Amino acid sequence: MSEHETIPIVGGTGALGFGLALRFAAAGRPVAIGSRDTGRAEEAAGRVREQVPEAEVEGLENTEAATRGPIVFLAVPFRAQSENLTNLKSALVEGQVLVDATVPLAAAVSGKATRLLGVPQGSAAQQAQEMVPDGVTVVSALHTVSAASLSKLATPLDEDVLVAGDSKDAKRRVAGLIALLDGLRPVDAGKLEVARLIEGLTPLLISVNIRHKAHAGVKLTGLPEDLWP
Amino acid sequence: MSEHETIPIVGGTGALGFGLALRFAAAGRPVAIGSRDTGRAEEAAGRVREQVPEAEVEGLENTEAATRGPIVFLAVPFRAQSENLTNLKSALVEGQVLVDATVPLAAAVSGKATRLLGVPQGSAAQQAQEMVPDGVTVVSALHTVSAASLSKLATPLDEDVLVAGDSKDAKRRVAGLIALLDGLRPVDAGKLEVARLIEGLTPLLISVNIRHKAHAGVKLTGLPEDLWP
């Protein structure tokens, strides 16, 4: 058994969630892949083990997965975010951190993936903060890393992950996990309300990708060496 | 006299506009600095000449400056954008391109510079397209380059400029000018409506800058070599 905390990933059978599970497993961290369907979660765990034989990974129903570690990743499409958060109300407990990677693409309502929906709370991350139980802290992150690239261990990553949240401590802990993944640099982008602007990067990158047949990522220039002093 | 077209910069005495004037002059291009006040425009032209003695630069009233070349840069604060566009209605003519760099920061209405205002047309660039005379094409660009860095010729630049617009030809011509500035890489980000997402990068970078005491810029990773085939 690893001495490390397990990393639960709600929506771990989706493209982004699976990529995260795979990369965290490759970094030697135990992972709990969550899905609505336990069978699909187990199948995804099997696919992680195929690529990372030493992986400590299990497949569970989402709410069960969410109990397995202190920092829970939520990687679901926007159209399923609210439903997932409702289900998680009975699972999440005070002190946990929820890392929200949801992007409110207009594609959620049969619009374009290059357009961002307005969210009443300001952003998907703020909707998450409104819906989690008291004492659970939301951190917004991981909107711009290509799921396709994450899911191919052989593809080197070299980009930034913008992290937003109202708790500096929670942001720092999430940044610590992201920094485990080779080639990803977490950058503190500010308070949770800034998530609105970060979520807008995804449809922007999708628009760039369409034009240039690429999997573009974001890197900020001009930052100091030590970003988490 | 240069064989090159003059580059008019409306709002050329402001931080961004002056930085652009200085860099274009240093790149050997003739520049027309526009300002509401001709005296201030002439004073800014003098400051360009101090740093670039061979500069071909003149200071003019904004609407006069806008007649001096085919691609006009608009570098004014959002609170002055509509007024400037109204004034430009009598100056701009069919066939000209207007490069809009306006960012609708909440600071325009005494809010925070880390927040983006909603603009009825979708973005400041789309407001510009609505207000220019028929036959004038708006291209959105230059939201993320630090005015402070632009204004110091000794500061090397190394970042991308996201360019959005509905005319491929106009985007390509604007990209050609941006590429004259050492260290800036123009990237086609899509149609003009994507300006809404690009304009959001500015308050995001301001939030990052506040945290890290930096002048951050943006670079996209994973793009092909030849961006303007």
pLDDT of residue B229: 83
Q: Would the pLDDT of A152 be above 90?
A: yes
Tell me if A220 and B220 make a contact (CB, 8 A cut-off). Answer: no
Q: How far is B195 from B164, CA to CA, in rounded Å? A: 6
% of chain B surpassing 90 pLDDT: 98
Place of tokens 């800058």: B209
Count of CB atoms situated within 10 Å of the CB of A16: 25
Which residues of B fall within a CB distance of 8 Å from A224? 212-214
Distance of CA B65 to the CA centre of its chain: 15
Q: How far is B174 from A6, CA to CA, in rounded Å? A: 50
Confidence of residue A202 (pLDDT cuts 50, 70, 90): very high
Confidence of residue A189 (pLDDT cuts 50, 70, 90): very high
Of B204, B210, B219, which to mutate for an interface test with A (greatest number of A Cβ within 10 Å)?
A: B204
B154–chain A Cβ distance below 8 A for any pair: no
Across the interface, of A149, A208, A213, the residue whose CB is closest to B189 is A208
B216–chain A Cβ distance below 8 A for any pair: yes
Q: What is the mean pLDDT of residues A84-103?
A: 98
Q: How far is A94 from A223, CA to CA, in rounded Å? A: 34
pLDDT of residue B2: 67
ipTM: 0.94
B205–chain A Cβ distance below 8 A for any pair: yes
Q: How many CA atoms lie within 13 A of B172 on its CB side?
A: 7
Which residues of B fall within a CB distance of 8 Å from A116? 196-197
Place of tokens 């220019």: B132
pLDDT of residue B1: 58
* pLDDT tens per residue across span B191-212: 999 999 999 999 999 999 999 9
pLDDT of residue B180: 98
Residue numbers in chain B where pLDDT is lower than 70:
1-2
8 Å CB contact between A72 and A91 = no
Q: How far is A217 from A206, CA to CA, in rounded Å? A: 10
Tell me if A190 and B211 make a contact (CB, 8 A cut-off). Answer: yes
Contacts of A225 (CB under 8 A, 6+ apart): none
Q: Which amino acid is at A55?
A: A
A222–chain B Cβ distance below 8 A for any pair: yes
Q: A211: distance to nearest CA of chain B, Å?
A: 7
A148–chain B Cβ distance below 8 A for any pair: no
pLDDT of residue A77: 97
What global pTM score does this model have? Answer: 0.95
DSSP category for residue A133 = P
pLDDT of residue B75: 98
pLDDT of residue A220: 98
B122–chain A Cβ distance below 8 A for any pair: no
Mean pLDDT of chain A: 97
pLDDT of residue A229: 83
Tell me if A213 and B224 make a contact (CB, 8 A cut-off). Answer: yes
pLDDT of residue A43: 98
- φ/ψ of A161, rounded to 5, equals -120, 115
Distance of CA B171 to the CA centre of its chain: 13
pLDDT of residue B14: 97
